[in-house]
A = this chain, B = another copy of it.
Amino acid sequence: MSDGAEDIEWRSVCPISSALDLLGDKWSLLVIRDLISHGTRTYSEFRESPEHIATNILASRLKLLTSLGLIERTNPEGAARNNAYRLTAKGEALRPVLEELARWSQAHLKELHRGLVDIL
């Protein structure tokens, strides 16, 4: 995955495909989830989430999501690793996507994943 918005190769003009060109991986929407739950998050707080994101993946996703304008650093002048991140309006607008994913899982995945909890 690229770390910069300028390197994106759009597969088609379809808005679903284009959203997945940016966010179609296992981690980007979890970073968004953590920011929606917490408002602001530091690098080390992201690392404490139960999915245990690897540092290199976290750094790459934070860079890409910042480049895309979905998140921003609370202190843009500080060092990246000592900084906190928050959602922009464009990132916050992903909330309905996460809600529908959660709703689908809660309705349809409990048979496959018995430990699944409800969050909605």
Residues of A within 8 A of B (CB): 5, 8, 10-22, 24-27, 29-30, 33, 49-52, 68, 90, 93-94, 96-109, 112-113, 115-120
A-B contact pairs, 29 of them (CB 8 A): A5-B112, A10-B113, A10-B116, A11-B51, A11-B52, A13-B113, A13-B116, A13-B117, A14-B50, A15-B102, A15-B105, A15-B106, A15-B116, A16-B105, A17-B33, A17-B50, A18-B113, A18-B116, A19-B102, A20-B26, A20-B29, A22-B109, A24-B29, A25-B26, A90-B108, A93-B104, A93-B107, A96-B104, A97-B104
B16 touches A101 (CB 8 A): yes
Copies of this protein in the assembly total: 2
Q: Are A105 and B18 in contact (CB under 8 A)?
A: yes
